[in-house]
Amino acid sequence: MEVLQEPSLKAPAVEVVPVPPHLDSVDGAADGEKREENQHDASSPEGDEPDDDDQLSLYEDMLDGMADQENWEGDPADVCTVEESIAFRKRLRLVGEDQFISETLEARTVSARKLCTAFGIKPPPLFDGQPDHKYYPLLGLGITRELRKRMKLPQYNTIDDAVDLLRKSKRIIVLTGAGISTSLGIPDFRSKDTGLYSQLQHLGLSDPQEVFDISLFWEDPSIFYSVAKDILPSTRKFSPTHAFIKLLQDKGKLLTNFTQNIDNLESHAGILPEKLIQCHGSFATATCVECEYQVKGEEIFNDIKAGRTPRCDRCIRTLRQYKPFGIKRKRSTNGLGPSKKKRQTFEDSTDDEDYDVPIAGVMKPDITFFGEDLPANFHNRLVQHDKDLVDLVLVIGTSLKVAPVSEVSGFLPPDTPQIYISREPCQHIDFDIDMLGECDTIVTELCRRLDWDFQHDMIKKDSIDVQRHEEYDSRYSFKVQSA
C-alpha cells in the first residue's frame, strides 16, 4: 500500500481523487460549460478556485466530520437511512462502480447529495442550495473510499465470537489511541465537548490541529507550549485498558502494540520495548532543535507545566562560555523556521544595524507533529514482520483519523479478524465486531467472560449491561449498571 510508504503524517487516509468519469456525464455535465464549472472545487460554489491545500483540507474536514448516521437529522430526500446506506454500499460492491452509477445517478433514482450520505459523508451547510453536480466530487470520494475498505468477515458477529477469538489467538496486534487514557483525566483530541481540539478555539487558529503542525512549531513554539501542559502525562498511573494489553503480553498473545498516544503510559504499564511501537513518538525524551542534544522528557516538564518554552541547557552553557563582551542585541522573535530563524552572529557593528540575540535552542518533545516523518520502526515492524504473523487485530480508543496509522486496518490481510473498541463507531472502516462504550468497561467484561484474572484498582465491581444495536448484527453497547 503506497500510503504506508509515505512517512508523513500529512498523508491523507484516503487520497482526494478526480471525479469518476461517469459522474462527468450526468445531468448534462458533458457539455463544455458544465465540465469547466465542475473543475472548480466544490467548496467554492461561486467559482473561486482554491489551492490544493485548501481543497484537501475541505475534504479531510468532511471525513473528520462523519458522524454516526443513526443520529443524522434532515429531510429524508437528502439523507439516507441506515438501511438505505447499507443497501447502497452492498449494491456498489455487488455490481461495481459503472453499473452502480448507471442505476442511481444516470437513472435519476437518487440525488448525488443524498447518495453522499450513504457513504458516510455529510455535506456541510455551504453546499446548501447548490445544484446536484456540485456534490459529485464528494460522492466520488465516498465511492472510492468504500471500494478501498476491507470487507467485514461474516462469520464473526457476537460477543461470544470476540471472546473465542481472544482465547484462541496467539499473535494479536493492538492499535490504540487517546481513548485508553481518558479515564486518567488525559483528554482525547476529537470528542465534541471534552476533546483537546474543542478547547483550543481561543488560540485563533484556522484549525485547532495546527497546534500540532510542525511548520507552526518552527514559526512560534510558544503556541504549542501554551497548551502542552494539558496533554502532558502527569502521572505514571495507567488505565485498566493499559493493564489489559499487558495481560495479553503476559499470556504470550501480544504481537505488537501500535500506539498513537504520546503519554508513554504503555511503558509504565510494562509493555516491553520490543512489543511497543510509539507511532507518534512520546514525551519520554526531548531534543534541542539547534544542537540535537537529547534529554529525558522529565527535565522539561516543569517548564511545560508553567506554560514556558523550554530551552536547551547545553546551548545555554555554550553561550555563557563563549559570549563576547559589548555585543549589541535586539529582541528576538519566537520563530525557529528557516524563513524566520536567523543565524547567530557575534560581529559587532554600529548602533543603526539590526542584531540577532544569541539564544539557546528550543527543546522539542520527541513526539511526531503533523508534517513530520513517523519513526522508521512503524513501517518496518508492520510491513516486514507483523503483516505475515498477525491472527487478530484489536483497535481500541481511536477514531482512526490520522494517516498513515489509519491505513493499518486495510493494509493487513483481509482474512484477519478485526475488533473495534471505542466510545463511538468508526464510520469509514468495516470492523467485524464493534464494541462501544468506555474502553475500561469493555475490556473488563471481556476478561470476565474469558475467566481471566484481571486486576486493577480502577476496575468497577458493578455489573455491565451489553446490548446489541438493532440495525447491526455485530455492534454492541457496554454500560455499567449502577447499583
Q: Which residues are catalytic?
A: 280
Place of cell 490520522: 402
> Within a 10 A sphere around the Cβ of 441, how many other Cβ atoms?
23
**DSSP label of 29:** T
What is the DSSP code string of 274-313?
GGEEETTEEEEEEEETTT--EEEGGGGHHHHHTT---B-H
Phi-psi region of 129 (alpha: psi -120 to 50; beta: other; left: phi over 0): left
> Within a 10 A sphere around the Cβ of 131, how many other Cβ atoms?
12
User: Which residue from 188, 255, 220 is spatially nearest to 400, judged by alpha carbons?
Assistant: 188
**Cross-strand pairs, 373:** 8
**DSSP label of 372:** S
User: 222 phi and psi, to 5 degrees?
Assistant: -65, -25
Strands 433-436 and 294-296: unpaired
Instruction: Please give the Cα distance from 23 to 38 (Å, whole number).
Output: 10
Each residue of 444-479: b (16+ CB within 10 Å) or e?
bbbbebbebebebeebeeeebeeeebeeeebbbebe
> Within a 10 A sphere around the Cβ of 291, how many other Cβ atoms?
13
CA-CA-CA-CA torsion for 152, 157, 162, 168, nearest 10 degrees? Answer: -70
Reduce the DSSP state of residue 143 to 3 states and report it.
helix
Place of cell 504470550: 252
Residues 6+ apart with CB under 8 A from 52: none
User: 286 phi and psi, to 5 degrees?
Assistant: -145, 150
Angle (CA) 212 213 217, round 5°: 90
Instruction: Please give the Cα distance from 196 to 286 (Å, whole number).
Output: 22
